[in-house]
């Protein structure tokens, strides 16, 4: 049995991880530490027993130390971050504060509790990071492996790179038992509708434009969030301390292909279920028009990385990792989830101006 702090557990991936962990390890204690920023949402943890949500900032080292002591924490799974590249371009300060200073605050508290006080108990600090730290690939470049040199290009990826280096240093210098995962683009339930897939699904339902950056040919690897959480579970249970594991979906797609999949999926859903036209009368699909009519090409993101691709042979070979879905299957599940959970996303739309770009 373990006692976990899950930072950022009220956000998209963190919440999916908490749901999964509750199922696979029901005897473990879970404390979610989350500042409930615009991206955090209590509702993401609805229906879960035995999960304590503490509203607080990872930069508050005293709070983290107290939680570790009070709950006899032996495992920290660190998701909390400012995570949206576009926001990092217009306001990078919060990214440095949460992603760099916040990660260091957690590391300091973990070191003090687990090493300086000499409990001698096994412990684990798992850091969740991104493939964006490796920079941008050309069309023929080899995919990112765990030994690819870091070359972050956005304030977001630079702040995540800084946090990765601090985790590495705390292992190397002090012997903190760390693991890190660098993962590709996630999608799935509970994703805040500012990211491409949920934003475009909801725009399609309300007849708003689908704004595609540049020529739409930027390539990403797409991974269903539950497959990412499976990867993290394997790393926590079987991963080697001090190691980094890349996690991907093996689904490299240009953005325009993702948008086409969204348009085709929404059209097919409306064709199969006439009640959708009553629920979402502003959708082109409700009027028999193609959702693709909403596609609009907009000025490219500043410094937009062209291509990311993940070489995941290490996690597959060492830990037996195998994502359960390809993109079409994962996307179909995700579309069904958003159609079935309007009660989850409607309050978020009212809370934020989401279609600013
Ligand atoms: P998210 O933005 O949905 O959630 C982040 C959560 O962190 C929110 O609940 C927010 O309230 C919380 N948070 C932010 N600042 C905090 C602070 N100072 N103290 C405590 N809590 C704070 O992000 P996500 O998409 O779930 O990403 C989770 C992690 O996975 C991040 O570290 C991100 O870099 C990484 N990641 C994300 C993706 C992706 O595609 N979304 C891909 C690879 C890696």
Q: What is the pLDDT of residue 352?
A: 66
Q: Is 16 in the pocket of ligand 1 (CB under 6 A)?
A: no
In this prediction, the residues of the chain whose per-residue pLDDT falls under 70 are 118-120, 352-357
Give the distance (Å) from ligand 1 centre to CA of residue 286. 34
Q: Is 228 in the pocket of ligand 1 (CB under 6 A)?
A: no
Closest protein CA for atom 41 of ligand 1: 186
CA 15 to ligand 1 centroid distance, Å = 10
Residue 286: Cβ-neighbour burial (10 angstroms; 0-12, 13-18, 19+): middle
- 3-class DSSP state for residue 152? coil
Catalytic residue ranges? 131-132, 156
Rounded Cα distance between 182 and 164, Å, is 9
Whether 180 lines ligand 1, by a CB cut-off of 6 Å, is: no
Ligand 1: distance of its center to the CA of 261 in Å? Answer: 26
Q: Is the CB of 179 within 6 Å of ligand 1?
A: no
Q: Which atom of ligand 1 is nearest to the CA of 58?
A: 19
SS3 label, residue 320: coil
Q: Are 75 and 29 in contact (CB under 8 A)?
A: no
Residues 13, 228: contact at Cβ < 8 Å?
yes
Residue whose CB lies within 8 A of the most ligand 1 atoms, among 5, 8, 187, for a mutation test: 8
Strand intervals (E) in the chain: 3-7, 29-34, 51-55, 75-78, 124-130, 178-183, 185-187, 210-213, 219-224, 244-247, 252-254, 295-298
Domains of the chain: 3-191+224-250+306-327 (3.40.50.720)
| H helical segments located in 73-193 | 85-90, 93-95, 103-111, 155-174
**pLDDT for the residue 122:** 84
User: Is the CB–ligand 1 distance for residue 207 below 6 Å?
Assistant: no
Residue-wise pLDDT tens digits, 136-195: 999 999 999 999 999 999 999 999 999 999 999 999 999 999 999 999 999 999 999 999
Per-residue pLDDT at 356: 43
The pLDDT assigned to 264 comes to 98
Kindly report the three-state secondary structure assignment for every residue of 326-349: CHHHHHHHHHHHHHHCHHHHHHHH
């Amino acid at each position: 049995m373990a006692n976990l702090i899950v930072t950022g557990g009220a956000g998209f991936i963190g919440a999916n991880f908490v749901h999964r962990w509750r199922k696979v390890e029901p005897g473990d204690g879970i404390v979610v530490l989350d500042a409930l920023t615009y991206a955090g949402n209590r509702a993401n943890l609805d229906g879960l027993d035995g999960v304590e949500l503490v509203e607080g900032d990872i930069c508050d080292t005293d709070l983290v130390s107290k939680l570790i002591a009070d709950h006899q924490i032996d495992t920290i799974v660190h998701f909390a971050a400012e995570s949206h590249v576009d926001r990092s371009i217009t306001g990078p300060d919060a990214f440095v504060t949460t992603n760099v200073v916040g990660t260091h605050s957690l590391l300091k508290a973990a070191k003090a509790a687990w090493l300086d006080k000499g409990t001698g108990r096994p412990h684990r600090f798992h850091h969740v990071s991104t493939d964006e730290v490796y920079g941008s690939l050309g069309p023929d470049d080899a995919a990112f492996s765990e030994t690819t040199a870091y070359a972050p290009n956005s304030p977001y990826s630079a702040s995540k790179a800084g946090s990765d280096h601090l985790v590495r240093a705390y292992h190397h210098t002090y012997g903190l038992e760390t693991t890190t995962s660098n993962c590709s683009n996630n999608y799935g339930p509970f994703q805040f509708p500012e990211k491409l897939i949920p934003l475009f699904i909801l725009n399609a339902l309300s007849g708003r434009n689908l704004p595609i950056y540049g020529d739409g040919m930027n390539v990403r690897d797409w991974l269903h969030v539950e497959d990412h959480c499976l990867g993290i579970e394997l790393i926590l249970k079987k991963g080697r301390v001090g190691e980094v594991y890349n996690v991907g979906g093996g689904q490299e797609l240009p953005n325009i292909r993702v948008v086409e999949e969204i348009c085709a999926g929404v059209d097919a859903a409306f064709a199969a279920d006439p009640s959708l036209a009553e629920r979402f009368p502003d959708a082109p699909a409700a009027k028999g028009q193609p959702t693709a009519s909403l596609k609009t090409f907009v000025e490219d993101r500043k410094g937009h990385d062209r291509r990311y691709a993940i070489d995941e042979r290490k996690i597959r070979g060492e830990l037996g990792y195998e994502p359960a879905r390809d993109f079409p299957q994962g996307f179909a599940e995700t579309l069904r989830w958003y159609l079935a959970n309007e009660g989850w996303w409607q309050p978020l739309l009212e809370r934020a101006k989401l279609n600013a770009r």
